[in-house]
Structure formats: C-alpha cells, structure tokens
C-alpha cells in the first residue's frame, strides 16, 4: 500500500493511494477536500485500519466496516436505528478503544451507566444487542478471540412485562370517538379486526383488497425515512399473507374505496397519511373516549388476545398475524389473564369437589 498527499489549487489537500482489497485485487483511488496534509494522512491511516483484518483497530473505525457491509444486507430503517444507537449510546463510550481491548468489566460499567438513564427494559436490551452484534461480527470475520459481551452478561428484557390491549368494548368506545374522520375510523377498523402492523396498513393499495373473496393481501410495508416513503417487503417472509375479513369489514372497505376519488388498483388506501398522523389520531380518540392508553401496535395485540379468548389455536393465530414461529405467538400473546387464572382455580376446585363434569 502507498499514498501521496498533494495540495490542490483551491488550497485543500487530496490523497492518492493504492491498496489491495480483501479479494486480492489491486485498487487505486483518491480522496479530496482535506484542510491540511496531516488530516489527509490521518484519514489514510484510518483507511488502512479499515482494510485490514486487525482487531486492534478502534471500534469507531470497525463500525464503518460493519456499517458498509451490513447496509447491503439489512433494511434502511434497521440500519438507521443501528446507526443512532452506535453514535448516541456506544461510540461515545467505546469509540476510541481498540476492539480487542474492550473487556467484560468495561461493558459492565457501560451497562450500569445505561441503566441509570432510566431507559425501558426493551430498549436497554436493544442497545446491548447492538454492541454484542458488532463484537460477534469481529469474532466471525476479523479474528477477535471472543465476544466480551457474553462474559459481561446482558441487560434489559426482550419483551415488556405487560402488553396492554383493548377489549372489544373499549375498542368500540374508541371507534365511536374517531368516527368524525373517515380515514382514521377505517384505518383503526382494519388494525383491530386484522391484527395488521401499521407499516403494512400504510402500504395497502386498492388491489390488495379482494371484496369478492373477502380478503386483504399483505405483501408490502411502508416506512417513512427522512421524509421519503420507502416500500419494502414485510418484516419477515412469513409476514406475506392473505387475511380473511368478516362481512362487516368488507362492507366498510367497499364504501371507503368507492369514496376515493379516481381510485386505481395502485392507489394507496391511506395515501398521504403517516405513522405520526395515526399516533396523533389515537391520542385524540383515547382522550375523547376515556379508554386506557395503548400504542398503535397494541391494536395488533388486542386482536391476538381476542383470538386467544375465542379459543383459536396458536398455529391459526400465528398464520393470521404473519409470525414465522408459533413460539413467538405463544410467548407474546397466549398469556393467561387474571380472569383466566381465576377460572382455572374455580374449575380445579369443582373437580376436587366432584362437581366438574367429563372427568
């Protein structure tokens, strides 16, 4: 590898350099716009570290390697979340530390600082997973001996202790409160009665609704990133599904689609509406109706909980929700409420007293 720093006529510096990439191919390139020769040479030194498979490079340089590779494999929204966590929570603490010098005690101390900030348990888990993920990457591809996060242990929880949801009665109160805005009312009818994710709802087009068969096809998800709508496949391959809807919801959708001006098959049902719009509408409806506060995603939980209470199997619920694993459905939704536990205890008492039939 070699380099040559030169001063351009406009007073800035550029560096011309040669290197051999990981495939063995020889490359030649240059980078302009440095204020000083020293700045150009420091950039080149960092570049060399990023091209090597040396675990002594600082984490901030290794993050650039990780980011460049994973951005080709992960969703833009996923990478955006990773970048925020790294820049705000990880690199300020570990950025200048060589990755092979990051130890379990250092991670424990960092975890303690994160815990003191009062973040939600699920967010703490996400933060910790990001550091562990990049260290696993170093172990797998850059000869780091072991991941110190494993020895340090985790922090936070994968799932919230309590997932609030609405009963049918609560949803009807909320629904009556937002009926003054047609698109809001229709959107929440879909969310509650199908268990659809918000991104899936926002991506729905006229052609996704089959009124003859009474179904909604889910095969896309919409996310707004930096003021641009991004359409992607749903969260997982199993999320691509066809949801059967009952007659009342079919009638609602028919009337709504008929009201869309010059609707085409490709017309989005909720064009121009965003996540923040529906979050605001949910807050408005909760305030007007007086029902307990939940998030939009909890409409999905409300739907699943209702199916559990109706006696549908985890396999049936998983297929409708688009879960890849039935265990996800069981762990997330098939919990026992206090009422259910009381019914179990009552029936066990009847069984002991000989009052339970069929035993």
Tokens found for residue 340: 């259910």
Q: What share of the chain is helix, strand, coil (3-state, %, to 5)?
A: 55, 15, 30
Please state, in angstroms and rounded to a whole number, the distance separating the CA atoms of residues 320 and 314.
10
pLDDT (tens, 9 = 90+) of the chain, 359 residues, equals 677 888 999 999 998 888 776 556 788 888 899 999 988 888 887 777 666 656 778 999 899 989 988 888 888 888 988 999 999 999 999 999 999 999 999 999 999 999 999 888 889 999 999 999 999 998 888 878 899 999 999 998 877 656 788 999 999 999 999 999 999 999 999 999 999 999 999 999 999 999 999 999 999 999 887 778 888 887 778 889 999 999 999 999 999 999 999 999 999 999 999 999 999 999 999 999 999 999 999 999 899 888 888 888 888 888 898 887 766 555 565 554 455 556 667 767 777 677 765 55
Q: What span, in angstroms and rounded, lies between the C-alpha atoms of 191 and 252?
A: 13
Count the Cβ atoms, other than its own, within 10 Å of residue 121: 15
Under 8 Å CB-to-CB from 25, ≥6 apart: which residues?
none
Residue with tokens 């199997």: 313
CA dist 119 and 150 (Å) reads 21
- Quote the CA–CA distance of 78 and 270 in Å, as a whole number: 24
Q: Report the Cα 224 to chain-centroid distance in Å.
A: 13
**Interior CA angle at 241 toward 249 and 264, to 5°?**
60
Beta strand 209-210 with 215-218 is: antiparallel
Report the run of H or E that residue 17 belongs to, with start and end: strand 13-20
Contacts of 9 (CB under 8 A, 6+ apart): none
Q: What is the pLDDT at residue 118?
A: 87
Helices of type H across 142-167: 148-152
Burial level of 113, CB count in 10 A (0-12/13-18/19+)?
Answer: exposed
**Inter-CA distances, 240 with 75, 93, 219, Å:** 16, 40, 5
In sequence order, what DSSP letters do the residues of 38-94 get, joined into one string?
HHHHHHHHHHHHHHS--TTSBHHHHHHHHHHHHTTTS-HHHHHHHHHHIIIIIHHHH
Q: Which two tokens stand for residue 324?
A: 């890849």
Taking the C-alpha atoms of residue 344 and residue 348, their distance in angstroms, rounded to an integer, is: 6
Helix (H, G, I), strand (E, B) or coil at 26: strand
CATH number 3.60.20.10 is the correct assignment for the domain at 2-152: no
Query: What distance in Å separates the CA atoms of residue 246 and residue 227, rounded to the nearest whole number?
Result: 35
Residue 241: per-residue pLDDT:
93
Q: Do domains 2-152 and 168-332 have the same CATH topology?
A: no
The CA R_g of the chain, rounded to the nearest whole Å, is 27
Judge contact between 127 and 89, C-beta under 8 A.
yes
- 121-141 and 59-70 helices cross at what angle (nearest 10)? 90
Please state which CATH class domain 168-332 belongs to: mainly alpha
Greatest Cα pair distance, the chain, in angstroms, is 98
| Residues, the chain | 359
Domain ranges of the chain: 2-152, 168-332
């Amino acid at each position: 590898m070699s380099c040559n720093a030169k001063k351009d006529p406009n007073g800035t510096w550029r560096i011309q350099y040669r290197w051999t990439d990981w495939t063995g191919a020889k490359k030649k390139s240059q980078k302009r716009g440095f204020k000083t020769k020293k700045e150009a040479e420091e950039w080149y030194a960092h570049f060399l570290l990023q091209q090597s498979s040396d675990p002594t490079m600082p984490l901030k340089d290794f993050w650039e390697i990780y980011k460049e590779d994973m951005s080709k494999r992960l969703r833009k929204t996923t990478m955006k979340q990773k970048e925020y966590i790294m820049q705000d929570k990880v690199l300020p603490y570990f950025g200048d530390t060589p990755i092979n010098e990051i130890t379990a005690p250092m991670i424990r101390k960092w975890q303690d600082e994160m815990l003191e900030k009062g973040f939600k348990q699920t967010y703490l888990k996400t933060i910790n997973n990001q550091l562990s993920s990049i260290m696993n990457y170093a172990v797998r591809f850059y000869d780091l001996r072991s991941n110190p996060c494993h020895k340090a242990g985790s922090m936070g929880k994968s799932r919230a202790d309590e997932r609030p949801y609405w009963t049918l009665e609560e949803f009807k109160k909320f629904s009556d409160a937002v009926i003054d805005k047609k698109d809001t009312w229709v959107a929440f009818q879909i969310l509650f009665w199908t268990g659809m994710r918000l991104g899936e709802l926002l991506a729905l087009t006229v052609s996704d609704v089959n009124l003859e068969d009474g179904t909604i096809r889910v095969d896309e998800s919409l996310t707004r990133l930096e003021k641009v709508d991004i359409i992607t496949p749903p969260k997982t391959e199993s999320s691509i599904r066809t949801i059967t809807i009952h007659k009342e919801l079919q009638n609602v959708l028919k009337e709504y689609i008929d009201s869309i001006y010059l609707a085409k098959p490709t017309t989005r049902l909720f064009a121009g509406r965003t996540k923040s719009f529906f979050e605001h509408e949910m807050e408005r409806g909760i305030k007007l109706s007086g029902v307990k506060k939940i998030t939009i995603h909890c409409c999905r939980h409300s739907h699943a909980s209702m199916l559990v209470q109706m006696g549908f199997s985890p396999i049936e619920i998983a297929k409708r929700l688009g879960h890849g694993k039935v265990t996800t459905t069981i762990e997330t939704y098939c919990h026992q409420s206090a009422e259910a536990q009381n019914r179990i205890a009552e029936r066990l008492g009847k069984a002991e007293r000989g009052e339970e039939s069929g035993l």
